[in-house]
Amino acid sequence: MSHHEGHLPQEGFSVDPKEILAEYSVEWVALRKSFDELKQQLNDIQDNLNVLDKKLETGSITDQEHIKLYRQKWAESTQMIQVKREVESRLYEIQKEIREANKQLKQMEIDKARRHRFEEERSHAMIEWMSLKQGFDLVDARRAEINAESNKIEMERRSGKISEEKYRESRIDQIRQLAELSVVESDVKHRLAELLQIIRG
């Protein structure tokens, strides 16, 4: 006759202390203590039953005494097993609730970290955007200067103040500068658009 029904593996209810939330910790500790005590009591009863069997074999007790004592121990163990099952069931419930709560907490931490990273990226993007916007304005200003210089040398060429050769050299240099500005302007516009997306989220 076995009294190991409802036996729980040694590590069956092992939970990392980090997972035990404050609202469950007291109940968990109390129930786990009760569970271990019940398990020990059932083991003790099993030992007592084994002793009774040996006494019967050696003739130390009669069949009638054996049956009477056996029934008493069996009744005790039956009640304990029922309580043990209830404790075991509640431990499983708490374990499930703890792990679910921790899962949610971990997700909250992930979301918080994600929001923090986004705010950092957004802040950096705003700083870079303002800096590039100033650079973009400088490009516009420089283009206006080159166009003004172009108009100036055009007038000087017409009035004969500069030679055709000097005019051509100046125009080639201005065209080169405008081409370089166009490349820079295109890159800046592209980056500004990327930064604006980050800022808007």
Q: What is the mean pLDDT of the chain?
A: 84
Q: How far is CA 120 from CA 101, 104, 180, 199, in A?
A: 28, 24, 33, 10
Question: How far, in Å, CA of 30 to CA of 98, rounded?
Answer: 16
Question: How far, in Å, CA of 52 to CA of 59, rounded?
Answer: 10
Q: What is the pLDDT of residue 18?
A: 59
Half-sphere exposure of 172 (CA within 13 A, CB side): 6
Q: What is the CA radius of gyration of the chain?
A: 43
pTM > 0.75: no
Task: Report the interhelical angle of 22-58 vs 63-159 (nearest 10°).
Answer: 150
Among residues 186, 4, 15, the alpha carbon closest in space to that of 95 is found at 15
Question: How far, in Å, CA of 148 to CA of 61, rounded?
Answer: 123
Q: What is the pLDDT of residues 85-105, one digit of tens each?
A: 999 999 888 888 888 888 888
Confidence of residue 15 (pLDDT cuts 50, 70, 90): low
Question: How far, in Å, CA of 147 to CA of 6, rounded?
Answer: 92
Residue length, the chain? Answer: 201
Between 10 and 174, name the one with better pLDDT. Answer: 174
Q: Where are the domains of the chain?
A: 17-114, 118-200
